[in-house]
Chain A
Amino acid sequence: MSSLYLLIPLALLLLAVSVWAFFWAVRRSQFDDLDSPALQILLDDDRAPPRAAEKRDA
């Protein structure tokens, strides 16, 4: 049972890291738009987009 005295503080450390990561993600707008990125992954383009130099000169 004494391993718990090590494992639980480790779990708490992990918890602190996840909360920090969560704050980091929210503050960097990762959660501001939950709809479009979900779709973007579905709509992965089969063709490579034209390189900058070849961009259409509309």
Chain B
Amino acid sequence: MDPASPSPVCFHCGSLIRNGEPLSVRIAGVAQPVCCAGCQAAATLILAQGLERFYEFRQPPTARPATAERNWSIFDRAAALRRYSHELASGERELTLQIEGLHCAACAWLIENSLQRERGVTEIHVNAASGRAQLRFDPRASCLSRLLQHIDALGFAPRPLSFSAGPPPDTAERRAALLRLGVAGFGMMQLMTFAVSLYAGVIQGMAEDLQQFLRFVSLAVATPVVLYSARPFFVSAWRSTRAGRPGMDVPVALSIGAAWLWSTWATLRGRGTVYFDSVVMFTFFLLLGRYVEMSLRHRSVVQQDALVRLLPESVLRLGPRAERVTPDELEANDCVRILPGERVPADGVIGSGSTEVDESLLTGESAPRARGPGDTLLAGTLNVSGTVEMRVLRVGPDSTLAAVARLLERAHAARPRIADFADRVASGFVMGVLLLATLVGLYWLQVDAARAFPTVLAVLVVTCPCALSLATPAALAAATTRLAHTGLLVARSRSLERLAHADRIVFDKTGTLTLGTPRLDEVVLLDARAARERCVAIAAALESHTAHPLARAFAHLNAAAGVTGTRSAAGRGIEGWIDGAHYRLGRLDYVLEGGTGAPVPAALRADPELARIVLADADGPLAAFRVNDAVRADARTTLAQLTRLGLIPLIASGDQPGAVALAAQRLGGIGARAGLRAGEKLAWVQQLQQAGHRVVMVGDGVNDAPVLAAADVSVAIASGADLAKVNADLVLLGAGLGALAGAVHTSRRTLRIIRQNLGWAVLYNLTAVPLAASGHLEPWMAALGMSGSSLLVVLNAMRLLKRNTARVEPGGVARLEAAPAEAAR
């Protein structure tokens, strides 16, 4: 990339850089642009420690660091230390952290290397797969808060886990599967040498006692493989048979079990052919397929404790001894004080004070709501403007936040399912195979009893659903890997099949099509005294003293210096002195309160929207500001691409009609519904589904979560609320929506590959079965044919990984923009 024309994308997090002061960091002598002070600080810290190689090896764009300073010292309290860590004999303490924003091995490397340079850290290991870190530190040399603060500064969010949390539940399952696969692999390699010797011995004439010796050795190697590695097949076959629905594992268990018994019998008798090699090879390849499938599934693990992340790290509990505690420690009837900018730790009732609360995560309403004494506050919502004292009513599982999560689980269970191919045909297929094997066996018993068993075994092995069962997961795995490179994380790979068929795509507005942060759109001067630049500078200076959401529209603008005596009125505005002049900024009625009774300008009377942010001095209104939620830079092109691919975009928003209509019009006049609550969005999506449409839902808030779960395919934006992130089928990382169109294209290619694979598997079975049934195939040939067929299916799926396909993909351009670091290399 030409350094002279820097891309408008943040070097650290990949977000599009919006208006405002250009920030940059110098890397290898070249100034690289960054989007915000948080990213600048994180990048500077990484460079100062000499860890700039992180930028060469990371995969998807890094998470954007939170700019707000967090208070980690809460974790230094003795009670919290006991709760989250345990002491070792050496006096050191050890704890487990869940780290948010960890996407690739380079991130894990960065955290490990950076923390190892910190005083007091004796050991740290970060697991990139599970996002967990094991930290051991010396409390006499450092304190926990400083280490957490350090991880935070790097742009990742650490969260100490209660010591009882234990290892992630999938670790045990993965280890057991790996051990089974390993044993089968070792056994297979060893057995092949014996099997080849035996086959060659038959041709060349091997001494009978040596043959018998090799048979016994094969038995010794195959037995642990059958008893240990193949155990899951027997268990699952038994379970499905007992339930009256024999599954795919029944013929597998039958052929493994029967071949082993037969071969053992032949070995003990000292006569006949042994099939130990076929048994073990069969087991190994089946386990390999299952292992691939399981690794994929674990990547989409739904975090059970996702809710906790919406709660604040700490809260001030009042009482005889006021102290900051973690939300875990709260109980009903505790009294807590919530400061502006803090999240509400539990459901409760305001005892004193009044404020405005941002409930957009639960209701979708982007404007904050006023709350006073006696009003209810909900856990997870954001206290915007005032300090309140609240009596806790419900904590943890009883809170509204937990109820939303339960609603979500129910919606998950009710998701319309396109039954998997395997599930749908398994029972019929299995019964067919068993029937065929019996018929073949009966026939050969009449004709040539000696060949009956090998023929039945060949039929059972050759009809192994291995290629059939690998056909889909292999293609999905390849597509998942490929999409991850374009910045789209596939959490549930089955959703790709549904994505390929989708014909409607519903977007939430706030935070999805728009950036979720307000932007200054228009300045209307109301008086001849006013100069545009000066008015904006004064407004920016005043807004820098308030935490109101709309104030963020001014955060990147040049502010006038020397503001004194600011005083804010909750939800109405702020006043202050600059260069000896008194200014008020806020709603029209508020700014006129202190004025001289100057007439309301006509522009404001005509447009009430414009009257929300007005700047006035002692002599009357100076200027009005129109603030709008900025539309994402690539939203319009993405929607156009999606329309071309046959997906009709729609907007479902909980926001006010005016704001929604404006966004819809800016995006090319697409269909929109405004003012929808979570339940109404859900109803609309279900209504679309009943009309026969396959619906993709793109959102980011917790209020979207039930809708996301009900849609055929759910897509979440990674910067949004974590709950929605972990419960979506697909997660968009980085800045843009650009990867969406590419994903639709890839999903369709994936479906084509799956069809080819299934077609091949069926064709193979149709040819191989008659050959096996007529006694033309030895069991080892059947096992080899089965493996070859599986290999072909996997290789075909690998074609999805290739980047340079003949057609230029819509997502390709967005990828280049999103990865300046890679392009620069």
**What are 23 sample pairs from A and B whose C-beta atoms fall under 8 A apart?**
A1-B207, A4-B213, A8-B214, A12-B190, A12-B221, A15-B221, A18-B186, A26-B182, A32-B127, A32-B174, A33-B108, A33-B128, A36-B109, A36-B128, A39-B105, A39-B106, A42-B57, A43-B57, A45-B113, A49-B113, A52-B119, A55-B119, A58-B119
Cβ–Cβ < 8 Å partners of B117 in chain A: 49-50, 55-56
Is the Cβ of B221 less than 8 Å from the Cβ of A36?
Answer: no
Q: Are B220 and A36 in contact (CB under 8 A)?
A: no
A40 to B126, CA, bound (A): 12
Of A26, A55, A56, which one neighbours B175 at CB under 8 angstroms? A26
Contact with B along A17-37 (1 / 0, CB 8 A): 011001100110001111110
Chain B interface extent, by class: 35 or more
Q: CB of B531 within 8 A of chain A?
A: no
**Residue of A whose beta carbon sits closest to that of B134:** A29
The distance in angstroms between the C-alpha atoms of A49 and B118, with both chains bound, is 11
Q: What is the distance, in angstroms, from A11's C-beta to the closest C-beta of chain B? A: 7
In the assembled complex, B332 has its CB within 8 A of some CB on chain A = no
Determine whether the beta carbon of A35 is less than 8 Å from that of B105: yes
Known: A22-B186, A26-B178. 11 other contacts (CB 8 A): A11-B193, A15-B186, A19-B186, A27-B175, A33-B128, A43-B109, A55-B117, A56-B117, A56-B118, A56-B119, A58-B146
Which of these, A22, A40, A42, contacts B182 with CB under 8 Å? A22
With A5-B213, A15-B190, A26-B182 as contacts: A32 and B129 at CB distance below 8 Å: yes
Closest 6 CB pairs of A and B: A35-B105, A55-B119, A36-B105, A39-B105, A36-B108, A33-B127
Chain B stretch 102-140: residues in CB contact (< 8 A) with chain A: 104-106, 108-109, 112-113, 116-120, 126-130
> Beyond A8-B217, A19-B182, A43-B57, is A31–B175 a contact (Cβ under 8 Å)?
yes
8 Å CB contact of A1 from B50, B53, B129, B210? B210
- Please report the C-alpha to C-alpha distance between residue A30 and residue B504 in the assembled complex, in whole angstroms: 45
Interface of A is mostly: helix
Contact mask for chain B residues 213-238; partner A; CB cutoff 8 A; 1 contact, 0 none: 11001001100000000000000000
Interfacial chain A residues near B220, Cβ < 8 Å? 12
Where chain B touches its partner, the secondary structure class is helix
* Residue pair A22, B106 in contact (C-beta under 8 Å): no
Interface residues as binary, B515-533 with A (CB distance below 8 Å gives 1, 0 otherwise)? 0000000000000000000
Q: Could you tell me if A39 and B109 are in contact, using CB atoms closer than 8 angstroms?
A: yes
Distance between Cα atoms of A26 and B178 in the complex (Å): 8
Instruction: Compute how far the CA of A57 lies from the CA of B117 in the bound complex, rounded to whole angstroms.
Output: 10
- In the complex, are the beta carbons of A4 and B210 less than 8 A apart? yes
- Indicate with 1 or 0, residue by residue over B80-106, a CB within 8 angstroms of chain A CB atoms: 000000000000000000000000111
Which of the residues A18, A23, A58 comes within 8 Å of B150, measured between beta carbons?
A: A58
B171 within 8 A of A: yes
Q: A12, B104: Cβ atoms under 8 Å? A: no
- B561 on the interface (CB 8 Å rule)? no
Closest chain B residue, CB of each to CB of A15: B190
Question: When the two chains form the complex, which single residue of B118, B174, B182, B221 contacts A58, counting CB atoms closer than 8 Å?
Answer: B118
**Which residues from chain B contact A50 at a C-beta distance below 8 Å?**
117
CB distance B178 to A31 under 8 Å?
yes
Q: Beyond A22-B179, A56-B117, is A33–B221 a contact (Cβ under 8 Å)?
A: no
**How near does chain B come to A33, taking the closest CB pair, in angstroms?**
4
On whether the beta carbons of A35 and B129 are closer than 8 Å, the reply is yes
In the assembled complex, which residues on chain A have CB atoms less than 8 Å from the CB atom of B150?
A: 58
Is A35 in contact with B221, judged by CB distance below 8 angstroms?
A: no
Closest to B146 in A: A58
For the complex, what is the distance from the CA of A19 to the CA of B116, rounded to whole Å? 34
In the complex, per-residue mask of B149-192: 1 if CB is within 8 Å of any chain A CB, else 0 = 01000000000000000000001001100110011001000100
Contact residues in B for A1 (Cβ distance below 8 Å)? 207, 210
> How far, in Å, is A1 (CB) from chain B's closest CB?
6
Among B277-294, those with CB < 8 Å from A are: none
CB distance from B787 to the nearest CB of A (A): 22
Asked if A38 and B182 sit within 8 Å, CB to CB, the answer is no
CA distance A38 to B129 in the complex (A): 13
A52 cross-chain contacts in B, Cβ below 8 A: 119
